[in-house]
A and B are shown apart, each in its own frame.
Chain A
Amino acid sequence: MRPERVMSQHSVVIELTGTEKSFGAVRALAGVDLAVAMHECVGLIGHNGAGKSTLMHVLAGTLTPDKATVAVKGETLKRYGLVAAHRLGIRCVFQELSLCPNLTVAENARILHPALRGFGWRRRAGELIISKLDEIFPDHRIAADAIVGDLPIGKRQMIEIARAFTVTTAPVNLVILDEPTSSLDGHTASQLFAFLRRSVKAGMSCILISHMLREILSTTDRVVVMRDGRVVTAGPTSSFDRNKLVVAMGGAEHHGTQADTPAPLAAAAAASEAPITVRMKPKGQHDGRELLARAGEIVGLAGLAGHGQTDLLLAVFDAGSGRAKKGAVADRIALVAGDRQTDGVFPLWSIAENIGVRSLARFRKGVLLSVEAEDALAARWKERIKIRTPDMRNPILSLSGGNQQKALFARALGSDATTVLMDDPMRGVDIGTKLDVYDLIQEEAQGGRTFLWYTTEMDELRHCDRVYVFRNGSIVAELARHEVSEERVIAASFAEAA
């Protein structure tokens, strides 16, 4: 399981041992070992939140791990950060583009290279980046004096990739590419992979993070599979095939600790008779598949993060509030936001006000709002959802993250909404809160409410009556409750159009 040990120490570009990193209660990396040799292209794969991006940020020096040993050529480094990474020639192509949109292509090259200065720097920077673009993407048609912000995202990604490979004073030994093809078309992507193979042959190393298993299988020498902040499998790419990778990512051993409570058959049958409350076609769907939800159903939206689930929820929300005509939504809608800080809480308001804001219409007494009604609602939900606070008139920020999220649930469930949309609301919430809320959702669904639940956590899908798996903005699979398993969701998420 540890082929790293076989490599001679001198061929190792960099070696991380026992890397740990936590963000609050979330353990992003739980003791990861990774070594990259010269002449090697390592593929790094894993499902949502497996810790790939965190590991990459640690390698690039942009994130300081809580605990780690970094060794280069057998020598342990005391301090490792941006400067050390740059000196060692470790470059990174970040998933979120790290170009300055207001600068030209040449000026962006200059940002990475302190050596490009003095008279004629602009010309030298332009030549540097354009020659590298010529090398990787021969027909790129990008001008050195073009403003990056004016270019389409595919071209920006090409520039970002090419820039990572440019050399002035510091060498380039290891390039980490995080989803480099997410905005490239097939043609440019194949140009990139051909270039990667050439560079690796010439002595460079690279780490390729991708959700495209075909890219991983065709380009890399070795595959490292991560899951829950750990490396679960690693080995030569030739020893894997698509299915093996999918199984490795999902974890062959079924680790479902939550009881797989199959819905009583009678209830399932009754549900299929219930009136349809939401009918919506995802924007990117071309094969006529639709998302359907019936009254009393809990419908899960699964798949890799950012593949159109949130967009669909927002489309349903817009349709429900009459802002868009597409789709049919027969219900009053409430949304539980996933990003609590930006989309959820009103930070200056009290807990009671935060809960009551969705129900203001019911609080009306003449032209004013009834404070008593707001207090009554807050008190009722404090009891039901167990918000831990001495006084519901305390500011919302006095609550812990989990309790703030409970307040957001109370806002949706306490309203008159009959359909509740949930945008991955359990991110970074402690397990106690989760269990409280799961029970509540089941209860409310039995009472006839419909839930559309986007979640990136596999365990939560077990609470759903039906699950739609999303990929590239469209539905690629619909699984009934008894069909839902980690393997099937992952297989569908990684399904590639032939």
Chain B
Amino acid sequence: MSVSVVSSTKPGGAGVLRVRRTLRAVLPALSLILILLAIWHLNARAISYFGLNLMLNLAVPVALATVGQMFVMASNDLDLSIGTFVGFIGCITATVLHDSPVLGIAIFAGCIVVYALLGALIYLRNLPSIVVTLGMFFVWQGLAILVLPKPGGHAPDWLKALMSLKTPYVPFPVMAAVVIGVVAYVGLMRTSYGAVLRGAGGNAVAVERAGWSMLKVKMILFGLAGFCGVLAGMALIGLTTSADANLGNGYTLLSIAGAILGGGEFTGGRVSPIGSVIGALTLTLAGSLLNFMHISPDWQVAAQGGILIVVLAARVLINRAGSAA
């Protein structure tokens, strides 16, 4: 009748797809397990309640920032400002929030509104998010330096207590990571509006034609990123107990790497909340692994990059094998 593009589907066609999807989904977990095994091989005692607590406590703010980045990536944008934003939130936490909690919380709420407005700006003026958030990178950094010109400040006691919580059996960072992952997963992957949010990244025109507001979608996704950034900044200060204006600068690239490592892609609305959290844990543990291998921590960033390349290469291989089948 017409071009018969529909190749007669082989009986195994659907099965191959499913295998490929499963492989793609477990790849982040696989890389985490490999790193854990390597650490265990070098020093079995590290894989203990105390060891994991020590190795992973910095993973909590990274995981939060990564999930925030993932929300932005869900609609094909990137947030380059999340790093200095986390730093700025940290400075507020160690100063304003410590001295007058109400004002501190009001500032945080204002920051989330600013994030949502950035989403609106990017959508309404059709601006590249990279440019807008790169500008914001410097804005947040400047604000952080204004708030805290030299390192100092004090984390609120309740926050310190929370971040050094000794939970029974399972270390606190692990529990926190599970909670972050599950909440983000349910919110983005299981709710009915979450489907619309992700659909906006896959085919924005289709979502708009179905009557949804892309403005609202962008504002919500950026607002969620801001919210996660606030939590990340607070968690970070809970761990370090005092702040520095440059504390979060590395988080921009770390969060992008974590979201990509976890199965996300820059375009097409393909993101994975649980994968992102696992990606953040993997990147954090990479530093510890180097320690155990007696390699200078200077190489940490290089090692993280190496892991990223290996995992992405594996993903490409899976995709290629799938399409060849």
Cβ-defined contact, A111 with B5, below 8 A = no
CA A473 – CA B212 in complex, angstroms? 38
Cβ-defined contact, A98 with B192, below 8 A = no
Cβ-defined contact, A101 with B6, below 8 A = no
Among the 9-residue stretches A184-192, A226-234, A378-386, A421-429, the one with 4 or more Cβ atoms under 8 Å from chain B is A184-192
Cβ-defined contact, B190 with A152, below 8 A = no
Q: Contacts A143-B14, A147-B21 given: A102-B2 contact, CB under 8 Å? A: no
CA A385 – CA B4 in complex, angstroms? 45
Q: Contacts A102-B198, A102-B199, A102-B202 given: A182-B207 contact, CB under 8 Å? A: no
Among the 9-residue stretches A29-37, A115-123, A261-269, A453-461, the one with 4 or more Cβ atoms under 8 Å from chain B is A115-123
Let me know if B279 is at the binding interface, CB within 8 A: no
CA A472 – CA B201 in complex, angstroms? 32
CA A86 – CA B210 in complex, angstroms? 8
**Which of A92, A118, A181 is close to B2, meaning CB atoms less than 8 Å apart?**
A181
CA A111 – CA B7 in complex, angstroms? 28
The interface residues of chain B lying within 8 Å CB-to-CB of A146 are 14, 17
CA A182 – CA B3 in complex, angstroms? 7
Q: Which residues in chain B, 1-57, are within 8 Å of chain A measured between CB atoms?
A: 1-7, 9, 14, 17, 20-21
Let me know if A40 is at the binding interface, CB within 8 A: no
What is the interface residue range for chain B against chain A? 20 to 34
Cβ-defined contact, B192 with A121, below 8 A = yes
Let me know if B120 is at the binding interface, CB within 8 A: no
Cβ-defined contact, A103 with B199, below 8 A = yes
Let me know if A377 is at the binding interface, CB within 8 A: no
Let me know if B203 is at the binding interface, CB within 8 A: yes
Let me know if B139 is at the binding interface, CB within 8 A: no
The interface residues of chain B lying within 8 Å CB-to-CB of A182 are 2-3
Chain B nearest Cβ from A457, distance in angstroms:
24
Chain A nearest Cβ from B51, distance in angstroms:
38
CA A114 – CA B199 in complex, angstroms? 14
Using CB atoms, name the residue of chain A closest to B189. Answer: A107
Cβ-defined contact, B270 with A98, below 8 A = no
Let me know if B261 is at the binding interface, CB within 8 A: no
Chain B nearest Cβ from A297, distance in angstroms:
30
CA A189 – CA B209 in complex, angstroms? 25
Cβ-defined contact, A112 with B6, below 8 A = no
**Which of A100, A185, A189, A190 is close to B206, meaning CB atoms less than 8 Å apart?**
A100
The interface residues of chain B lying within 8 Å CB-to-CB of A99 are 203, 206
Let me know if A371 is at the binding interface, CB within 8 A: no
**Which of B6, B20, B195, B211 is close to A155, meaning CB atoms less than 8 Å apart?**
B6
CA A182 – CA B21 in complex, angstroms? 28
CA A190 – CA B1 in complex, angstroms? 9
CA A107 – CA B203 in complex, angstroms? 13
Instruction: Give per-residue flags for A193-227: 1 if the beta carbon is below 8 A from chain B beta carbons, else 0.
Output: 00000000000000000001001000000000000
Chain A nearest Cβ from B64, distance in angstroms:
24
Chain A nearest Cβ from B146, distance in angstroms:
37
Cβ-defined contact, A98 with B209, below 8 A = yes
Instruction: Give per-residue flags for B186-206: 1 if the beta carbon is below 8 A from chain A beta carbons, else 0.
Output: 000010110110110111011
CA A62 – CA B268 in complex, angstroms? 23
Cβ-defined contact, B4 with A103, below 8 A = no
The interface residues of chain B lying within 8 Å CB-to-CB of A190 are 1
The interface residues of chain B lying within 8 Å CB-to-CB of A181 are 1-2
The interface residues of chain A lying within 8 Å CB-to-CB of B5 are 152-154, 183, 185
Cβ-defined contact, A111 with B207, below 8 A = yes
The interface residues of chain A lying within 8 Å CB-to-CB of B20 are 150
**Which of B2, B21, B192, B209 is close to A150, meaning CB atoms less than 8 Å apart?**
B21
**Which of A107, A118, A152 is close to B195, meaning CB atoms less than 8 Å apart?**
A107
Let me know if A110 is at the binding interface, CB within 8 A: yes
> Can you list the 9 inter-chain pairs with the closest CB atoms, starting with the nearest?
A154-B6, A100-B202, A102-B202, A186-B1, A98-B206, A100-B199, A107-B195, A117-B192, A185-B4
B residues with a Cβ closer than 8 A to A are 1-7, 9, 14, 17, 20-21, 190, 192-193, 195-196, 198-199, 201-203, 205-207, 209-212, 268-270
| 8 sampled A-B residue pairs with Cβ under 8 A | A103-B202, A111-B207, A117-B192, A117-B193, A149-B202, A183-B3, A188-B6, A473-B3
